[in-house]
Amino acid sequence: MREAERRIAVIETNQALAAELAGMGAVDQLVRNRWLELRKTADEPTRAALQDVWDRRIRPIDEAHVARLRTLLAARETWFSLSEVGPQAAQAAFLIVQHSGDIGLQKQVLASMAPLLAADEVDKGDYALLWDRIAVTEGQPQRYATQGTDCDGDRYVTPRDLEDPAGLDARRAAMGLDPMSEYLAEQNRMYGRCEVPPVMRNRRKAG
């Protein structure tokens, strides 16, 4: 009974924070899903026009979310734990970081997530996605293959830049991720025609 009281008290104390994070996450996903749905079957001129919409309308939303998240993080010592704000708000905060494009912020958050893994106070899948996002940005091999960065024709395939390919599905399972075949099927369903992100194109030219 005391433990239940304690847990509820934690939630009550942080309900405003949880609601704010969840709200930002909902907007993050809504604008992306609408944009991706239009882009999935668009021709090249339409894709170019959609990129302009992204730059003018969606990027400022991301920037505002990142600025607010930085303010919230500056007032605390740890990442947002699951017991503190709940899974929905914790993932919302993660999505803002994942989509920020700010490698410094992403590294800071990854480090603050790491101590929470053993206590199941952070989503392991979120940690894996952020680990791989940082690796791709820095030109390092992915560990969990969560970033659909290689194409075979117009289809997404397992990235070539990968740590220990034979152990991939075991590593993914340990982080609560689907087998690679299921992940790739979802990538192709969600994004349509495969395109290698600019960061990967630049990396291969440099290599």
pLDDT at position 154: 87
pLDDT in tens, 58-82: 999 999 999 999 999 999 988 999 9
Residues of the chain with pLDDT below 70 are 1, 3-4, 6-7, 9-11, 149, 196-207
pLDDT at position 207: 33
Share of the chain above pLDDT 90, in %: 68
Residue 159: Cβ-neighbour burial (10 angstroms; 0-12, 13-18, 19+): buried
- Give the Cβ contact number of residue 142 at 10 Å: 22
The CA distance from 86 to 18, in Å, is 7
Q: For residue 152, give the H/E element and its range.
A: strand 150-152
Residue 75: Cβ-neighbour burial (10 angstroms; 0-12, 13-18, 19+): exposed
Residue 55: Cβ-neighbour burial (10 angstroms; 0-12, 13-18, 19+): exposed
- Give the Cβ contact number of residue 72 at 10 Å: 14
pLDDT at position 197: 57
**Helices of type H across the chain:** 2-13, 15-40, 44-53, 59-74, 82-98, 103-117, 124-137, 168-174, 180-191, 198-206
pLDDT at position 201: 43
Residue 50: Cβ-neighbour burial (10 angstroms; 0-12, 13-18, 19+): middle
Instruction: Answer whether 192's CB lies under 8 Å from 148's CB.
Output: no
Geometric angle at alpha carbon 148, from 31 and 45, rounded to 5°: 55
